[in-house]
Amino acid sequence: MEKIPKVNATTSIKMLSVLTQPNFPKAAIGLEKQNITALSLQKEGRGFGIKQAATIELPSNLLTPSFLDRNISNARELAVLLEEAVASAGLLGQKNWSVSLPSNTARSAILTLETASAKDESEEILDWKAEQSFGAPTGELRITRQKIAPDKEGKSRYFATAVKLSVIDEYETIFEGFGWKTGLILPRAVSETKWLTDDSNKTDSLLISSQSDGFSAILLRGGEPAVIRTVTCGVAERNDEIYRLLMFYNDRFASGNTENLLDRILLVGKDLVPAKIKEISAEALGRALQILRPDEVGLNLPASNLSFDDLAAPAGLAAFGWR
């Protein structure tokens, strides 16, 4: 599998179905500020099980996820711990990896084309809109784009995610030192949306993925991103912000609509309390949302100390090895 080139890569990919391309590995690494997870999956019925996995903690300040600034304070130390995680999972023989990066390394947005244009003109307009949304020249970014359903006025829309090439290079350089190849690299929250893309479910679904300084939320409608929010807040403020998010959904999407309303939510993050989120949803929406369990979205966890919060993103990427 060839590595994605380190050039201006405004690559038009379908966020989830792009992974149907052959040879994506069935193993992935998840990098977070607090830990590293390495895993491989196996098919279990209609879902997936953990074949091999390990999570190890990182010292504070070794990894500081950022879109603009340097992420890794000591590349040699991170390399040692990365190898330890892979060895603990029994995956030292694995050479090809998908990688989920911390959500704060990326920025996501929905880009709308106001008018129909020729292909070359559309690309230029999308590049310009990406620069405005992400705050950096496209030549400094690796951008992935997924064409999604048009808006109510029929305007073309794209879900776009950007990571600075300089940030990706920090991580890829460490992988290259081991002779490992990295194919698919996506931020954590986008990786986790894999578990909400079951084509058989027509209702809206919501991912809330917490990080140390807040949370990312992605609303999916028809299996495609409809709303993306990144909220910066302290732990004490988190529940209030989630309430505001659900009220926004109620005002924007539920008013006058009785079909396919939001009925399920996937929580990823140790500081998110399912019972409390269910209570908040009942207050904001007038009905309690279903809090999805890992097995309900297709991931069977072993009876061990492994946590879905650590596994969700890398497992989401590894699952595409079967597409």
Q: Is residue 280 part of a domain?
A: yes
Q: Is residue 220 part of a domain?
A: yes
Q: Is residue 12 part of a domain?
A: no
pLDDT at residue 291 tops 80: yes
Q: What is the 3-state secondary structure (H, E, C) of 247-285?
A: HHHHHHHHCCCCCCCCCEEEEECCCCCHHHHHHHHHHHH
Q: Is residue 126 part of a domain?
A: no
Average pLDDT over all residues of the chain:
89
Confidence of residue 176 (pLDDT cuts 50, 70, 90): very high
Cβ neighbourhood burial of 46 (10 Å; 0-12, 13-18, 19+):
exposed
pLDDT of residue 223: 87
Query: Residue 243's domain is classified under what CATH number?
Result: 3.30.420.40
Number of domains in the chain: 1
pLDDT of residue 254: 79
pLDDT of residue 115: 79
The secondary structure of 225-254 as a DSSP string is EEEEEEEE--HHHHHHHHHHHHHHHIIIII
pTM score > 0.75 for this model? yes
pLDDT at residue 7 tops 70: no
Q: What does the pLDDT look like over 10-69, one tens digit per residue?
A: 433 344 444 334 468 999 999 999 999 999 999 999 899 999 999 999 999 999 999 999
Q: Is residue 189 part of a domain?
A: no
Backbone angles phi, psi at 242, to 5 degrees: -65, -40
pLDDT of residue 42: 95
**What range does the domain containing 292 cover?**
198-296
Residue range 80-103: mean pLDDT, rounded: 97
Q: What does the pLDDT look like over 181-235, one tens digit per residue?
A: 997 899 999 999 999 987 567 789 999 999 989 999 999 998 899 999 999 999 9
